Structure 1
Amino acid sequence: MSAALLTLASFALILYRPVPTTWLLPGIAMLALVQILCHFRYFLHIDLKKSHRDDLQLILFTGLILCLMVGGSWWVISSQFARMG
């Protein structure tokens, strides 16, 4: 239920624009992070108990690898773009 409310809140933020335009992207990013935490807690049942820490470490390591892959790809592509101009 809370994940659906967070999704609706992000859509409402774009549709009704209750905040200035410069605050839209940080607001959407904040709602996305809260939704990720909600999914970890209620759908994946990941919390800070001793028995679930291994699962949390696996997810954090996967996130680190994904960030390295995306960041490296972005760096290579932006470097190639700078060299073409």
Structure 2
Amino acid sequence: MSAHSIHEEESHGSVGSYLAGFVLAVVLTAASFWLVLHGGFPRETALLGLAVLAVVQIVVHLVFFLHMNTSSGQRWNVTAFGFTVLTVLIVVVGTLWVMHNVSMNMMSR
């Protein structure tokens, strides 16, 4: 068994896919900076725009640089990533919920 046969099922990106991912990442980063530096949007709109750009940039990095896709060879990677996202969401939302309840109960006194 050669060293190359271990990685036969993994898809490695080409120079074109890495270049496309890099260009998309730079464009999304520039759009985020422009959104903040422009200052012409209401605060809520700017925060929503930044959140959307951040999520799109995460997807770009996952697809173009980490090569995550829905193929059968990536099933365990996608499952582990989904579990990680779920765990982080539970921790973040739970923390915000507890902090909100603490704030509401302390403000009422």
Structure 1 outlier segments of 4+, above 3 Å = none
CA distance in 2, matches of 1:84, 1:63: 31
Matched residue, 1:75: 97
TM-score (norm 2): 0.69
The percentage of counterpart residues that share the same residue type is 35
Aligned to 1:6: 28
* Count of residues in correspondence between the two structures: 84
Alignment of 1:29 onto 2:51: yes
**TM-score for both structures, normalised by structure 1:** 0.85
- State the match for 2:73 in structure 1: 51
- Output the aligned Cα RMSD: 1.5
Unaligned runs of 5+ in 2: 1-21
RCO (CA 8 Å, sep 6+): is it higher in 1 or 2?
2
Cα deviations across residues 6-52 of structure 1 (Å, max 9, x unaligned)?
111110122124x6425322221211111010011112110111111
Which structure has greater helix proportion? 1
